[in-house]
Structure 1
């Protein structure tokens, strides 16, 4: 069969598939499914995927499913290292001159972190590592007025590079916590100096990184989700000024508008960091770790 006949037959199949899904009633869902079909078919057509390659593809997906559970989502990790997660954040939230950037949620956000008192530490007393005092203000991006009662949901890895749900030695919900701003929109808490760590490489995503000769490391950072009624939820990460691997972030998130200047103060560090919120709909991202 020559290429012109093959292309014609392939296009006829694509049209049949599109027609089969044409009765989806929700307009947005119908558009998404149709676009997905077109792009997947075009990709297969362009690459001329052979039988062995297709078998590898669905086996790769099956092995990702085996690695996915309550403590880890390999599918989300794949989207992260391919830059898809960060791209979606940029398309939906980024604006020129935005003072604080939006970041991907990542695979280790856990729902229902405990609320902690102002100035409290998210690290248990026996958690090793240098402490960092973090304070700042949450305010309206448009008129600079303080936002009282805003919630900051915070989580970070320990000095061994592991989040609490990955490490049996850490107490439940260690290095996680939620804080509320006061009437002046201010907050204060104690965390650890952020630690760099590699993304999990013991699964299919690790295979991909090794084949691509990509380092798996993430720059040192702390995760923040800042929310308040009537405001667009800010999902971001704070990186350490001067970290040499910011440009090589494994998930393409680190950028200049997410860098904090941690200043040394005796036996600890101090970071002052403000979070401006834009008016909009307050929604929380779904936690990859639901409990």
Structure 2
């Protein structure tokens, strides 16, 4: 009891409680996982014309290509700006083959898995890391036609990439339209990272554009669409290495240049850095790294993939 009467005691107790509360808050934000919603089987079938029986009856695969009656994909490796860049050229017969998936089939806080693990679990032919929605507490989350979060993102000026049921792309801004309205318009998937790189065939970033306080040269991931005159569905996924002696990394402008050079009319920056991962035919194609020394995948919240 004498101890409790000492003047510094309450200060000490208050300090311990404050520190403990702060520590728990940090753990909850960055470490402790919390499942909020489990993806139901019906939630992966949001395309109005989706054929449940659609599968590849015959596929021809190599280390750099995949071909069946519905999906055609090739990987080209180029070197630009002292960086190794992987360009996936994808053509599909129906928008249902461009999909997203959540880590552990679960929407929640700090629910993550490696891109290759999520891809394998969904039998993806080709996959790239998504927008890592779990790293943020705000921002729309729409996956396969389901709204999981409808609060406007803090950096809404970066815009989102809306993917519609017909496979088309459009850049939208969360402070201009609600998540409910987007779904009513036909949005199936929404990617909320950014910024937009190419719009109407023109580069819309400059040499000074960057995501937050990130370094100018980084591993990068991006997705783009090539609008064909015949209305076919033609996409690009670009991933670059970076932060190593072999690959310096790209700026957002340099990334946009690659996409534009391959004909992208709309292109959008995905989560990059250590998250940047390209998966194809059962293998990780690029060299993901977070520290410039160890080649290893970072666990992420979600992926974009091509598959059945």
Query: What's the TM-score once normalised by structure 1's chain length?
Result: 0.30
Look at both structures and tell me which one has the larger radius of gyration over its CA atoms. 1
Higher strand share: 2
